[in-house]
Amino acid sequence: MTIGLTAEPSDHAVADVWVVGSVNVDLVARVASLPRPGETVRGTSLDHGLGGKGANQAVAAARIGAAVRFVGAVGSDGSGSGLRLALAEAGVDVERLATVDGPTGTALVVVDSHGENSIVVIGGANDRVTANRFDPRRGDLVLTQGELPLAVTVAALTVARSAGATTVWNPAPADPEAFEHLALADVLIVNETELEVFGGSIEVLLERGSRAVVETLGGDGVLLAQGSDRHTIPARRVEVVDTTGAGDCFVGALAARFAAGDALDEAVAFGNVAASISVQRQGAAASMPTWAEVASVRSQ
């Protein structure tokens, strides 16, 4: 089955992917098993690096070949300049990445020996993002998540719609108050937990006004829904090292290919393979594959 939804045509040569989202320092502890409430466990290593759902998705899209512009904020502490440099080195335009007084966002990540993780996010500078310098054009793709204040995300999606850009929203972590605004998304990307927060069924989300809904199902793959059409893409069976950032890899790769003109089902299939590569590596942004790596796997 082919679901022929494509991004809106662009009135300029290259469609930009605008990511309006979070930037965090990821502090990653590795353990044999995740601690239960009240339990202390011994870790095997501690690493730090670029993270945040927005940054992860931006890096994923850039490595696939998209022209990515980032809207967000880092803090004036020692971490902010390093994260800015890491994004730039990944090929992301950081002209609209602000520096604000105070700490940079931080994520505390614990990863067990099976690659499963538990994450706590402290917003920091992400709570002070504005979209004042956000100016997408017709035919661009605007990608948002759920780690910024909801009002900022809604404002960005509204501006994008007014400009004629295609909107993709991955409302994670899910905020029940976002439900009233889901119609701002041309494409809505949720996992099973987020779907429960927003009414428990894809039909409910389609009725809100999104052109398509993509539900990620972990080891069971991805479900794409548009109108009455349903298309399931199974997950690739691989040895999992670390699932941190896998969902962001999927979203960023999908956005890159959708902006490039692929039909949505083709973009979803591409993102599915990209995520299967990322889980075989450690880290979040560091695990994102290139277009050539994904293309090589798809050709096998």
The three-point CA angle 13-62-135 to 5° equals: 55
The pLDDT score that the predictor gives to residue 242 is 83
The pLDDT score that the predictor gives to residue 14 is 59
Do the domain assignments include residue 103? Answer: yes
What total of structural domains would you count in the chain?
1
Q: Cβ of 159: how many Cβ atoms within 10 Å? A: 18
Do the domain assignments include residue 182? Answer: yes
Do the domain assignments include residue 73? Answer: yes
The pLDDT score that the predictor gives to residue 1 is 35
The rounded distance, in Å, linking the Cα atoms of 106 and 23 is 8
Domain span at residue 113 reads: 16-32+41-298
Do the domain assignments include residue 58? Answer: yes
Cα separations in angstroms, 174 against 73, 132, 189, 259: 21, 24, 11, 25
The pLDDT score that the predictor gives to residue 7 is 53
The pLDDT score that the predictor gives to residue 34 is 94
Place of tokens 């930009």: 16
Cβ–Cβ under 8 Å, residues 57 and 143? yes
The pLDDT score that the predictor gives to residue 4 is 47
Do the domain assignments include residue 3? Answer: no
The rounded distance, in Å, linking the Cα atoms of 252 and 49 is 18
The CATH number linked to 149 is 3.40.1190.20
Residues in the chain, pLDDT under 50:
1-4, 8-13
Do the domain assignments include residue 227? Answer: yes
The rounded distance, in Å, linking the Cα atoms of 171 and 146 is 4
Do the domain assignments include residue 214? Answer: yes
- Which uninterrupted H or E stretch holds 75? strand 67-75
Cβ–Cβ under 8 Å, residues 109 and 117? yes
Cα separations in angstroms, 161 against 132, 168, 184, 198: 16, 11, 7, 22
Nearest to 150 by CA among 166, 167, 174: 174
Which of 26, 93, 248, 265 does the annotation list as catalytic?
Answer: 248
Do the domain assignments include residue 11? Answer: no
Residue 248 designated active-site: yes
